[in-house]
Amino acid sequence: MWSFFARDPIKDFNYEILPENQEKSGIWTLSRGKRKTTGEPVSVFMYEVSQGTEEQTQLAKAAFKRTKTLRHPNILSYVDGLETEKSLYIVTEPVTTLAAHLKLQAEKGGASDLEVSWGLHQIVKALSFLVNDCHLNHNNLGMWAVFVDRAGEWKLGGLDHVTSDQGDSTSLPPPKVISPDLERYDPPESPGNGGDKWTGDVWRLGCLIWEVFNGSLPRASSLRSLGKIPKQLVPHYCELVGANPKIRPNPARFLLNCRPPGGFMNNSFVESCLFLEEIQIKEPAEKQQFFQDLSENLDSFPEVFCKHKVLPQLLTAFEFGNAGAVVLTPLFKVGKYLSAEEYQQKIIPVIVKMFSSTDRAMRIRLLQQMEQFIQYLNEAAVNSQIFPHVVHGFTDTNPAIREQTVKSMLLLAPKLNETNLNQELMRHFARLQARDDQGPIRCNTTVCLGKIAPYLNAGLRQRVLISAFSRATKDPFPASRAAGVLGFAATHQYYSVAESANRILPTLCTLTVDPDKNVRDQAFKAIKSFLSKLETVSEDPSKLAEIEKDVTASAQTGGSAATWAGWAVTGVSSLTSKLIRNAPAGSETPPAENSPVPQPAAGPTSNEETVEPDRDRWDDEDWGSLEVKDGYSNYVKSLVFFQFILVFRKYRKCISNNHAFTPSGLSKAELAKKKREERRKELEAKRAERKAAKGPLKLGARKLD
């Protein structure tokens, strides 16, 4: 019974101490640990009474008390503790010693001045808090008393020798009594001989600065050699280690001296860190501007700081601060530093929630940056939580959103289920092709359909593609007609020989007299490709099964989406840009190039930029054989002879009526203007006929498109 009350309290300690990677920190042993219930990582400072002297035990108990009672963002955070007759345990946030951190950074190329400037800022701020607010002296400042947390932020620890500047009832032994090696860090004057209460601590601060840049301090006289200390910091460093204690500045004054423009602690990293510390009291406009500027600076910030300091603030700003679309760019930049598991836990829930937003700016930014997170989205979330919101973009009045929604299907299609892909998406594509008033959007819809063809259901793929591409070849926008031709060529493996001869070739042949030279060139290439396939079957009918093997092949799964979508996402604009540049003067007006993304508006605005570098084009893909083979078989000649007779008759008629192919007295510009005027009159006449046929509208009736 008595053994129950006498059991070891360490067994009931809520933290597990991990034996690996233990470090010595003064009289303490620093170990990694974790909470037994949640597995949350912590650091544990251990002191064994039996292994220390009476003075060391006295210092350990004093440190336990100070760590537990002193609370400041720049002082090592106390989590829990245990004090027994045999040992003392102080549990803190997970940290490592500054010496170990700098050694690790040196292996990666050295710590940047940005990181060091913020680290020193934090230590001086903590020292100022002790001296000016708590009226305490640290008496133990050095590399061994500074620790670095997961975000790369420096924390002041080593509170073993902290004393009150107003006098303590109990006196603690100085550091050099416990460790004689620390005597070289003592100021040259004797204790209490001139100077202010902080003179000893700021001298040791100067020693710390010297060691951060130059390594371990061999002797006190080495402080005269500046070594690698930055020029902006040199004059202020010299004040810290001045022989006259009366000129050594207060820690708060030292901070002010380093903060003017051009100072060592005046840079984008320090400014961003200070803003994040006070973000809760900032105005919404200030937060918007900060997150907008943050994206440009993130590339120069330490990776661990972005993951553990910036990311939580971004998530909080979106969740509770109504930051909106402005957090997206920095959020995705920081997301590059996360593992797949971390991305799923922290970023994906936010992205799913963002898709339900009605903010147009957020929607278009999500669509534009989808390539950065599509790989982390599972099919269930795409079909149930994301796609139903994305499809609203197909009917948006803003052309830029409609355009970007079409492009996003290149990435979403591999993850869509049967219903969403083959029914819902095809319904929207058909409406865009037939009724959208923007030619580039109709063109990109055709291109996108050709690129997602491998994912369509084999039973309806041939019918859908032939119908869609045939409709595109009749579009008034030349780029759309060219896209229809290229769509046929790029998906040639999905058409049977009979469909190629009976439906596709007649459609392509009519385009050999198209007013646009680029459309005619693409049509001739495509015709030769399909004729080559027909000739191959005619010469050797046994090859029919091999040529038509993909016609009824099952749709591809999303497994190949990663590599495919990687190049496809830029292909749309590349193709549109290429075709628009080749459009004749009399064609439908293309969208303005280099126009910025429009802001949310009630009505249509100028279309978004479509000019991109010439890469990832359709004609870079495998189009099959486009070479003309010598000596067509009689079978193939008879198959297409009648079709070419019809085309020739239309061509003769076009020669007599179309000034694009015959010399005339009109210039090209005048001829194009005349054609547009004739087309406008023809459309007005058709509208008048439709209105006359419908009769007058009745009161209360609503006209349907």
Residue 589 has pLDDT above 50, yes or no: no
At 347, list the tokens.
């970023």
- pTM of the entire predicted model: 0.68
At 194, list the tokens.
């001139």
Question: Mind listing the pLDDT tens digit for each residue in 130-167?
Answer: 999 999 999 889 999 999 999 999 999 999 989 887 76
**Residue with the two structure tokens 């010598």:** 630
Confidence of residue 178 (pLDDT cuts 50, 70, 90): confident
Residue 587 has pLDDT above 60, yes or no: no
Question: Mind listing the pLDDT tens digit for each residue in 269-280?
Answer: 999 999 988 888
Ramachandran angles phi, psi of 80, nearest 5°: -160, 175
**Residue with the two structure tokens 């129950």:** 4
* Residue-wise DSSP of 507-536: HHHHGGG-SSHHHHHHHHHHHHHHHHHHHH
Q: What is the mean pLDDT of residues 176-194?
A: 77
Residue 471 has pLDDT above 80, yes or no: yes
Q: Name the more confident of 509 and 607.
A: 509
pLDDT at 616: 34
Contacts of 558 (CB under 8 A, 6+ apart): 379, 414, 415
pLDDT at 270: 93
Average pLDDT score, the chain: 79
pLDDT at 168: 58
The CA distance from 418 to 421, in Å, is 5
Residue 608 has pLDDT above 50, yes or no: no
Question: Mind listing the pLDDT tens digit for each residue in 547-569?
Answer: 888 888 776 654 333 333 332 33
Question: Mind listing the pLDDT tens digit for each residue in 480-498?
Answer: 999 999 999 999 999 999 9
Q: What is the mean pLDDT of residues 408-414?
A: 93
- Top-tier CATH class for 97-269: mainly alpha
Q: Name the more confident of 408 and 628.
A: 408
CATH architecture designation of domain 15-94: 2-Layer Sandwich (3.30)
CA-nearest of 570, 562, 592, 567 to 444 is: 570
CA-nearest of 651, 643, 618 to 484 is: 618
Element (H, E) at 148: strand 146-149
Instruction: Name the region of 148 (left: φ>0; alpha: ψ -120 to 50; beta: rest).
Output: beta
The CA distance from 463 to 674, in Å, is 38
pLDDT at 613: 33
Confidence of residue 695 (pLDDT cuts 50, 70, 90): low
Q: Name the more confident of 82 and 583.
A: 82
Ramachandran angles phi, psi of 30, nearest 5°: -95, 120
Neighbour count for residue 325 (Cβ, 10 Å): 18
Confidence of residue 665 (pLDDT cuts 50, 70, 90): low
One-letter amino acid for residue 143 of the chain: M
The CA distance from 202 to 193, in Å, is 15
Contacts of 42 (CB under 8 A, 6+ apart): 15, 32, 33, 34, 35, 79, 91, 92, 93, 94
CATH 3.30.200.20 intervals, the chain: 15-94
pLDDT at 90: 94
Residue 625 has pLDDT above 60, yes or no: no
The CA distance from 437 to 606, in Å, is 12
Q: Name the more confident of 598 and 298.
A: 298
* Residue-wise DSSP of 326-355: GGHHHHHHHHTTS-HHHHHHHTHHHHHHHH
Q: What is the mean pLDDT of residues 675-696?
A: 76
pLDDT at 273: 92
pLDDT at 633: 34
Confidence of residue 642 (pLDDT cuts 50, 70, 90): very low
CATH 1.10.510.10 intervals, the chain: 97-269
Question: Mind listing the pLDDT tens digit for each residue in 93-126?
Answer: 999 999 999 999 888 888 888 999 999 999 999 9
Element (H, E) at 292: helix 284-297
Q: 389 near 377, Cβ under 8 Å?
A: no
pLDDT at 284: 82
Q: What is the mean pLDDT of residues 594-620?
A: 34
Question: Mind listing the pLDDT tens digit for each residue in 34-51?
Answer: 998 898 999 999 999 888
Residue 255 has pLDDT above 50, yes or no: yes
How far is the CA of 331 from the CAs of 356, 389, 446, 541, in angstroms?
A: 18, 21, 33, 58
How far is the CA of 437 from the CAs of 395, 476, 485, 579, 605, in angstroms?
A: 12, 11, 21, 18, 12
Question: Mind listing the pLDDT tens digit for each residue in 197-227?
Answer: 888 899 999 999 999 999 999 988 899 999 8
One-letter amino acid for residue 465 of the chain: L
Residue 409 has pLDDT above 90, yes or no: yes
CA-nearest of 123, 114, 165 to 144 is: 123
Confidence of residue 694 (pLDDT cuts 50, 70, 90): low
pLDDT at 45: 94
Residue 597 has pLDDT above 90, yes or no: no
